[in-house]
Structure 1
Amino acid sequence: MSDAFDFKKDIILENEMVLLRPLKTSDFKNLLEFSLNEPEIWTYSFVHAAGEDSLKRYIEMALDGRKDEKQYPFIVYDKVKKKYAGCTRFHQIDLANESLHIGYTWYGKEFQGTGLNKNCKFLLLDFAFQKMGIVRVEFRADNKNEKSVAAMKRIGCTVEGVLRQESLSPSGYRRDSIILSILKHEWEERLRRELENKISKK
C-alpha cells in the first residue's frame, strides 16, 4: 500500500485532451448549465444534480466525502473544446484494503461519445494503480443503464455479477446493480496498453 496519497493535497491529472482537478464549491457556476438544461444526465444516478438546489447539495456532499477521506471528487475540463464537461470521483476509498470505486461520473451531451471518458478513465486508473497502490478498482451502475455499462466494458472492465434489487433508486424502484472491476495486474499486463492505444486512435 502506498502512503503517498493525501486527501488534503490538490491532485491534477491531465493529458492532451482532458484535465481533472479537485472539485470546489466555486465550480457551481461551471456546472450550472448542465444542471438546468440537461437533467436527464442523472436518470440513473442515486445523487441528482438537476436544478440549482440539487447541484449545490451534490457539490457539498462530494466535498464532505473528501473531508471524511472516503471520496475524492474531480471536475472534468475538456482541453480540446476548452469547456468544463462534467464530474467524476474516486469513492469508497479503502487504502488499508487497497481498493476503491470510480463513479459518480457524468458528462454533458456535447462531450459524450467523443473519447473524453476513455481519457478520464485512463488517468484515474493509472493514478490509482501507480500512485495510490490500489489493487482493485470497482465500478457499479444501474443494470438498466446500457450506455454506461457498455462504456465500462470498452475500457476493459470485467463483469463480476449483478446484485438484484440492491438498493432503492431516487425514483422509487429497486435497482439491480451491475458490478465490474479492473485489477492492478490486468492493468499493468494488458489493459493500460490497450486503452492507451484506443485513446491514441481517437
Structure 2
Amino acid sequence: MDIDPVTLEAETIRLEPLSVDDHLADLQANGSQSIIFRWFGEDISGPEAMRDWVTAAVEDGARGRALPFATVSRETGEAIGSTRFGAIQPAHRSVEIGWTWLTPDYWRTAANTEAKYLMLEHAFEEWDCVRVEFKTDSRNRRSRAAIERLGATQEGIHRQHRHTHQGLRDSVYFSVLDTEWPGVKRRLLEKLDD
C-alpha cells in the first residue's frame, strides 16, 4: 500500500492532501459551529482547537499513520470539511475511513457520498484492500444512516469504547469487504447519477 498523499476528484468535491497553509483558514471558518462536532471525539469549532486538530492530522500523515484530506468544493475552491484514512494496516490490507466532518451547508448533498466513493475506490482498486471499516458514535443517527446508505454492513457495537467531550461513547463498527465492493460501487454510482 502506497500511502503517499494523493488528490482524488469527483463532480462536486475534490479531496486534497490536508495542509495547514492551504486549508486551515477555510476549515476554521467553515468548521466554526459546535453542532458539527456534537458526536466528534472533541469539539474543534474554535480557531485554536481547529489549528491543533489540523496540525495533528498533518503530523499523523507525515508519520504514515493516516492520510488526511481537506474536502474542497469544486465550485468555490473552499475547504468545506475534512476526512481521512486511518488505522492503516498494510500487512492486513485494511484501512479505516473516518474523522469526517462537513460544514452544515453541505449536509445531505453529494459531497459526503462522493468523498466516500473516492476513498472506497482508492482503497479497493489502488491499495487492493480486503476490508475498509467505519465507526461512529452509536447516538449519531445521521452518521449511522449515511454509512448504511453507502452499503456498509454493521458489525457490532463496542460499548464504552472511548471518552469524548460528550462523555463515554459506544462505537458502532461497519465494514465493506473486497467481495462486496463491486455491488457497493454499482449502487453508489447509481446514487451519484440520480
TM-score range, shorter chain: over 0.9
- Asked whether the 8 Å contact 2:36–2:102 carries over to 1, the reply is yes
Paired residue secondary structure (2:11): coil
Residue 108 of structure 1: aligned partner: 103
Cα displacement (A) at 1:25: 1.0
Distance in 1 (alpha carbons) for counterparts of 2:116 and 2:158? 24
Residue 49 of structure 1: aligned partner: 44
Residue 194 of structure 1: aligned partner: 187
Distance in 2 (alpha carbons) for counterparts of 1:106 and 1:53? 17
Distance in 2 (alpha carbons) for counterparts of 1:35 and 1:78? 14
- Percent same amino acid at aligned positions? 30
- Asked whether the 8 Å contact 1:48–1:58 carries over to 2, the reply is no
Which sections of structure 1, spanning at least 5 residues, go unmatched?
Answer: none
After TM superposition, the structure 1 stretch with the greater mean CA deviation from structure 2, 24-33 or 122-131, is 24-33
After TM superposition, the structure 1 stretch with the greater mean CA deviation from structure 2, 158-167 or 75-84, is 75-84
Cα displacement (A) at 1:82: 4.4
Paired residue secondary structure (1:46): coil
Residue 33 of structure 1: aligned partner: 29
- Asked whether the 8 Å contact 2:31–2:102 carries over to 1, the reply is no
* Superposition pairs of residues 72-151 of structure 1, within 5 angstroms: 72-151=67-146
Q: Deviations over 1:150-177 (max 9, x none)?
A: 0000010100011111111123x21111
Q: Deviations over 1:39-70 (max 9, x none)?
A: 21111111432111101110111011112211
Residue 11 of structure 1: aligned partner: 6
Moved over 4 A (4+): none
Letter in 2 for 1:196: L
- Asked whether the 8 Å contact 2:157–2:170 carries over to 1, the reply is yes
Residue 173 of structure 2: aligned partner: 179
Distance in 2 (alpha carbons) for counterparts of 1:179 and 1:158? 8
Letter in 1 for 2:27: L
- Asked whether the 8 Å contact 1:159–1:178 carries over to 2, the reply is yes
Cα displacement (A) at 1:108: 0.4
Cα displacement (A) at 1:77: 1.1
Distance in 1 (alpha carbons) for counterparts of 2:113 and 2:83? 12
Paired residue secondary structure (2:174): strand
Which sections of structure 2, spanning at least 5 residues, go unmatched?
Answer: none
Distance in 1 (alpha carbons) for counterparts of 2:120 and 2:26? 25
Aligned residues between the structures: 193
- Asked whether the 8 Å contact 2:31–2:103 carries over to 1, the reply is no
Distance in 1 (alpha carbons) for counterparts of 2:157 and 2:149? 18
RMSD: 1.3
- TM-score of the superposed pair, with normalisation by structure 1: 0.91
- TM-score of the superposed pair, with normalisation by structure 2: 0.95
Q: Deviations over 1:90-147 (max 9, x none)?
A: 0011111100100000000100111211111100000000001211001000000000
